[in-house]
Structure formats: C-alpha cells, structure tokens
Structure 1
C-alpha cells in the first residue's frame, strides 16, 4: 500500500508564494499582478516592468477567485471623491495573504467537535476553516450570478454585483454548507481591515487608506511634536522602520 504524501498546508502556501514572486524574465523579477495572475507566456511580454511591491503576489487564491474577491470588495469599499477603493488599495491581496496564514486556518481558535448553533454574540461556531468558507462562497457567488444574470460576477455591472452581494447579506441564496450572511459579514469585516491595516500585510497600498483618515500609522515616537498644537504628520508603515 502506497502511503499518501501528506504535506503541511502552510508549507504549500509558502511554496506557492515563493513561486509567484520568484519568476524572473531577462533578469527582472515579475511579481504582483503580472507574476501571480497572468500566465507565464503572457508575463514575458511585460519583461520591462518591475514589480513595485512584491507583497502583492497571490499566496492562496486562484486567479479567478482573486478577480471575484477584488470586484466584491470594491463594491463594499468603492472608490469615491474621498479616495481610492478596495481595488486600488490592494484589499484582495490582503485577504489572500490572511487566508494563507493562521487566520485562514483558524490557527488560534478551538475547532474541535461537537459543534452547536451559537448565538450571534458568539460569532462563528462551525467546523469549516475560513479558507474553506471563502472557497465555497466564491464558487456560490459565481453560481448565483450565472443563475440570475447568466454572467460571471466579474462581468456584471456595479448595481448587479450589489444585488448579488445583497442576496448573500440577506440570506436569499440557498446554500446549505455555509451561512450566506455569515460570509458577507466576514467579507465586509476583512475588507475594512485590508483598507486600513499596515501595508506590510498587503492592503492599504501606499498608505492611502490612512491618508484618507489623516491617521499617522506606525510612528516610532511623538516626542518632537508632543508640546505643539495639532500637527499633521506623514504616515509611517512598519516597512519604513524595517528598511532603516
């Protein structure tokens, strides 16, 4: 009997990240959207483009899953007169990275049976990991979009995408494996986290989420301005401190 090759899922995620960020063409590393989403043959056409942010490479999502989440988060946190939306902030990359790590594995939570229907204040009380919930939900978003509009979710108009997401929020989608509204609330929460988290984790690109809120980010100290009246300071990421 041949023994199955059971490898740690976290090792597989790490290997996928290294693979996605490690493509090199003509001496230039192809990362970000080019290296992780486009096929290798297509990436060769972009050999002159350098990845500005290697943190924007897929670690968990397939390209199709990424596009669905990218579109859905933009409807939850859209671009407007105040600043960029989720797409420009890289929120889908933040979610991808979170699912590849402990958050996606529910690594710090008790996940053993028996499972009971919990109260709303207790949060999620099931056996599925967050990455499993996202896998199912993304597939069901596509299925629901095709049932209602005969198109993929990413091909829908903005108001049509809103209607699909609203059906999930209001539990109007017939899914037995997960709670549609539970997934929507999870997606909404992690979208906001991605918009305002430290850029080190993949979202809040260029600290634009913080800039919209005049949030100073990860300042080392305020000793030089503590005795002054309100002063607007340039936001700092953890990456800035690591590079010094």
Structure 2
C-alpha cells in the first residue's frame, strides 16, 4: 500500500526535499509513428474539402510504451490485478492500474535484467543468510511468471475463479499467503520470494520515469511533488522554502 515514510509528513525545506521523494530507475523504451502523404504522382490532385464538411477531430497520439513485450495477455491481467492491490486507487490518487505499473513490470522482464544478465549464475545455489537473501537458480522472469501462475492456481483451487475475477478481499487473502510464504512457487522457492520482488517492482513502476512504462503522465511523481528530471535547479537553490515544480520526464528532454 502507498505509505508515507514512517508516518512522517514531508519537511518542506529544501534540505529534506529529496529525502521524501521517489527515485527514477529502469530502462528506456522509445516509440514513434511516421506518416506521409503522396499526391499528384500522375498529375492528379486531391479534391478540395467541401466547405460544409466538418473538420476531423485530431487523433490522440498512440502510446507505444503501453504495450506488452514479455507477458501474455493473461499474465499481464494478473500482474495488473495484483499490483493494484499492492498500490490501490483511492479517492485522492490513482492506483497501479491507472499508472501503467503492469507495463513497467512487463518491460523489466523483457530487459536484460529479467534474465539476470551479466550476473554470476553458477551454483551451488543455496539459501542465504537473512542479511544476504536467496541465490536463485531460476531467472527473475521465471520467478515472476511462476509466481503469477501460483496465484492463478491458488485462486482457482480456493475460489473456483480466476484471480482477476476475485473480490478485493479475496485477492488480498491470496497475496497475504504469498507474502507469508504459505504458497510454493517452485521447489525450494516460496511465495515470499516472489512477493518481495513483485512488490518492489510495483513501487518502482509507480515512481519510475514514464519512459520505462509506468508512472503514467507522471502522476506518481505528482503525488510526492517530485520534480522528475529537471535540467537544472539554479533558479531555486537560494530558496529556503519548498518549491513545487511541474515534473519533467526524460522524454521531455528527448523531444527537444
């Protein structure tokens, strides 16, 4: 659930600004559309539009970042439903669904991070100390997809319904069992390992730069009054009071 840091309200001073705001992490996805018009190739010209014809409304640009790259449709729906229970919508703020968190998670699984690229991947694979964490024999994208399947299997066994069709309290019950490690994902790996990673990905998707798939329209940043990726802060460095700034995405800089 969305929580303030230890129940403290943010200190408005400039020195405490970064302490209470999110951090942007992730990988870049770039998309675009190019259109062209060909006329007069054989001496023909387009007819002038009728004066009485009403002008067409401008089409909204397609958001190519809101597209799955790794998960299938069923997995994406379960991801969205589970993330929404971890970071739910309320009357004051959007939830994980509106923020596009499922797409962030999907894009991370499709990236080199999802296959533990450039990491030491030779055994023995043993359970680590509490300060170390587990060293898993399976890759991150395998852990997530197996965890999603465990959620779905548990839902159908316990409630005879798909996870996405459950009531909120039923979804919470399954996720709580995962968090406690009461549900097994694969031999030697409990739901707790899956849940911890999934929850981290959900929070990242809320606060990452929109280029990475989540934090749609920078709404996650706006919740925290986080300025995003500003070019400079020289004009406010001498201010003693907190200065609210309209957040900027990396996309804003690329566009210029």
Q: TM-score, normalization: structure 2?
A: 0.74
Per the TM alignment, residue 73 of structure 1 is displaced from its structure 2 partner at its CA by: 0.1
Structure with the larger RCO, 1 or 2 (CA within 8 Å, 6+ apart): 2
Q: Tell me the residue number matched to 1:121.
A: 131
Preserved CA contact (<8 Å) 1:82 1:212: no
2:224 to 210, 213, 238: 213
Structure having the higher Rg: 2
Preserved CA contact (<8 Å) 1:196 1:203: yes
Q: Tell me the residue number matched to 2:97.
A: 87
Give the SS at the match of 2:253. Answer: helix
Q: How many residues align?
A: 204
Which piece of structure 1 moves more, 204-213 or 172-181? Answer: 172-181
Q: Distance in 2 between matches of 1:65 and 1:23?
A: 28
Per the TM alignment, residue 234 of structure 1 is displaced from its structure 2 partner at its CA by: 0.4
Residues 175 and 225 of structure 1: CA distance in aligned 2, closer, same or farther (over 3 Å): closer
Q: Distance in 1 between matches of 2:122 and 2:105?
A: 25
Q: Tell me the residue number matched to 2:70.
A: 60
Cα deviation per residue 1:113-152 (whole Å; 9 max; x = unaligned)? 1111111321230110011111211111111000100000
Cα deviation per residue 1:2-60 (whole Å; 9 max; x = unaligned)? xxxxxxxxxxxxxxx99xx8999xx9xxxxxxxxxxxxxxxxxxxx9755321111100
Preserved CA contact (<8 Å) 1:115 1:127: yes
Per the TM alignment, residue 221 of structure 1 is displaced from its structure 2 partner at its CA by: 0.3
Residues 22 and 140 of structure 1: CA distance in aligned 2, closer, same or farther (over 3 Å): farther
- 1:76 has 2:111 as partner: no
Q: Tell me the residue number matched to 2:250.
A: 238
Residues 137 and 240 of structure 1: CA distance in aligned 2, closer, same or farther (over 3 Å): same
Q: Tell me the residue number matched to 2:182.
A: 172
Q: Distance in 2 between matches of 1:68 and 1:49?
A: 31
Q: Tell me the residue number matched to 2:207.
A: 196
Q: Distance in 2 between matches of 1:107 and 1:81?
A: 40
In structure 2, the gaps of 5 or more residues are 1-28, 38-57
Q: Tell me the residue number matched to 1:159.
A: 169
Which piece of structure 1 moves more, 170-179 or 116-125? Answer: 170-179
Per the TM alignment, residue 197 of structure 1 is displaced from its structure 2 partner at its CA by: 0.6
Residues 127 and 242 of structure 1: CA distance in aligned 2, closer, same or farther (over 3 Å): same
Q: Distance in 2 between matches of 1:158 and 1:227?
A: 48
Q: Distance in 2 between matches of 1:49 and 1:58?
A: 22
Cα deviation per residue 1:85-129 (whole Å; 9 max; x = unaligned)? 000000000000000002101113211111111113212301100
Preserved CA contact (<8 Å) 1:73 1:86: yes
Q: Tell me the residue number matched to 1:150.
A: 160
Q: Distance in 2 between matches of 1:56 and 1:181?
A: 28
Per the TM alignment, residue 81 of structure 1 is displaced from its structure 2 partner at its CA by: 3.1
Give the SS at the match of 1:87. Answer: coil
